[in-house]
Structures are given as structure tokens and as C-alpha cells.
Amino acid sequence: SEKANDSLRGEGSYKAALAAIQKLSKKGILNGLSMAITNRNLNEADHIVELAEKYSARFVWFNHLVPTGRAKHHLDLEPTPEQYEVFLSHLYDLSHKHYKVEFDFNIHCPHYIRVFRDRDPEGFCEWVNKETHTAKCIYFLFGGYLSVLENGDVIPCFYSEDLKIGNIKENTLKELWDKMQNSEFYQKLQNPDNLEGKCGICELRHLCGGCRTRAYALTGSYFGSDPACLYEPKGDTGKAKK
């Protein structure tokens, strides 16, 4: 809504964004609409979906709040694990509705995988094995991506600016890709068995693994548990790595 959007981005930003959406839709080139989940817009998912349907977007994209960049100075916007639980369950409901136009639901929040499993145990295996689902970490744990910043710096995840691999002005993308893949840190991080805390003993760690950048920002370790997840694994928590 205008109120929720402008409270974060400044007065007039919603009207400006809506005007751009209308122009892109009129030309048939509206790609998608995205929303970062905060405690100020927990009731706004339906509105984003309604806009996508009305203006024929190709996808909607919901991602959890990652406290990096400007967001690290606004930790008060972080939803509680309980709020995430309710919100992600509602996204599950929205994603299973029928709409006048087709568009993809991209829910970039790793523990949505567990929410989906709990909501649809029978359909979970088919869904989680689809290459098109975007809930899991597509950068660190299961990634095939690099991010290039405006100055040419290359990082593994567009939220991890402190993990500079190199610069495309000095090396080719292939050289930087190989450097990342061959680094001891990255290889260790790609093994979910190296995760700590409850993420390290969770039965879904090889499917979910949490958000590594969130873990680093909020616990100080890329191997730490993602605090956004409400779930307590059924394993022996006493065996969790310290």
C-alpha cells in the first residue's frame, strides 16, 4: 500500500513506482514485482499479488530482510520468527490460488522450504526437486551465481559485500568464478554439515540451510543459525556445533 511503501522509501515513492508499473505494463514489458519482508508490510502480500495480476507481471518476488547495507542500521524492521511463520504460510496460500493471468511466485526465504513441507507433506518432494523453486540459498550453499557490483567488484551473493572475490576490470569472470569455487572457505560453506547451531542438526539442512548472509549479519558467523527460523529440529540439540 502507499502508506506502507512510503513509510520506508519516502513520501511519493509509491505513486512513482505505480506510474512506472503502469507504463511498463502498457508496453507489455513488466517483468516482476518484489517485496522485502519487514514488520511494516506483513499485511501487504495480497496487494503485491493484486498488482501483479492487474498489470500482468511475469512474477512476484518475496525475500526476507537481510540486514546488510542500509538495512543493518534498521534492525527494528526485522519480523519476529513467529511473524515470518504466519507470513510464509500465507504466501503458501496465495501461491496456490488461481489468477486471471499466470505469473510465477518466487519466495526467496530458505525456511519457506520447511513451511511448504508442513503445509503439503505429500507434494513436498515433487516441489522441492523442481529447479524453478527459489526458496533455498541460490548463492552460497547451493549456488551457481556471482554478483557484480557497479564498480566491477565481484561477490558471491549480492548481500555479501565484505566477501570481495576480485574485480572484472582485473580478471575475467571465469577466473573469478574458479577462484571462488576453489577457495577453502567457499568449499566448506557449501557443505551444510558444517553449519552450526540448530541449522547444523536440522534434517532439512541439505535442502534449506538458512540464509548465510543473514546468519553472518546477526550472529557474526557465516556458519551460524539463521535467527529468522522458528523451527526447532527434532535431533539432539546438545550435539549442535558451538
Residue 129 placed within a domain = no
Asked, for residue 164, whether it belongs to a domain, the answer is: no
- Residue 147 pairs in a beta bridge with 155
pLDDT in tens, 13-46: 999 999 999 999 999 999 999 999 999 999 999 9
Percent above pLDDT 70 for the chain:
94
- Which residues form the domain of 63? 1-109
Within a domain: 16: yes
Residue 18 counted as domain residue: yes
Q: Is-contact 227 196, C-beta < 8 A?
A: no
Q: How many domains does the chain have?
A: 1
Of all helices (H) and strands (E), which one includes residue 105? strand 104-108
The residue among 77, 210, 67, 81 whose CA lies nearest residue 141 is: 210
Question: Is the residue at 82 inside a domain?
Answer: yes
List, for residues 18-27, the tens digit of each pLDDT value. Answer: 999 999 999 9
Helix (H) or strand (E) holding 64: strand 59-64
pLDDT averaged over every residue in the chain: 89
Could you report the per-residue pLDDT of 92-118, keeping only the tens digit for each? 999 999 999 999 999 999 999 999 999
Is 9 among the domain residues? yes
DSSP alpha helices (H): ranges in the chain?
A: 2-9, 13-26, 45-54, 81-95, 112-119, 124-128, 173-182, 184-189, 197-201, 212-219
Mean pLDDT of 218-227: 92
Contact assessment for residue 7 and residue 40, using Cβ atoms and an 8 Å cutoff: yes
CA gap 209, 136 in Å, rounded:
7
pLDDT for residue 175 is more than 90: yes
Q: Is this model's pTM higher than 0.85 or not?
A: yes
Give the Å distances, CA to CA, from 119 to 87, 88, 209: 13, 11, 19
- The answer to the question of residue 61 being in a domain is yes
- Chain centroid to Cα 128, Å, comes to 16
* Whole-number Å distance between alpha carbons of 115 and 121: 10
pLDDT for residue 142 is more than 90? no
Spatial distance between the Cα atoms of 34 and 208, rounded to a whole number of angstroms: 21
Query: Any residues with CB less than 8 A from the CB of 121 and at least 6 apart, and which?
Result: none
Spatial CB neighbours of 139, under 8 Å, sequence gap ≥ 6: 145, 147, 156, 157, 158, 160, 212
Which has the closest alpha carbon to 114: 135, 83, 137?
135
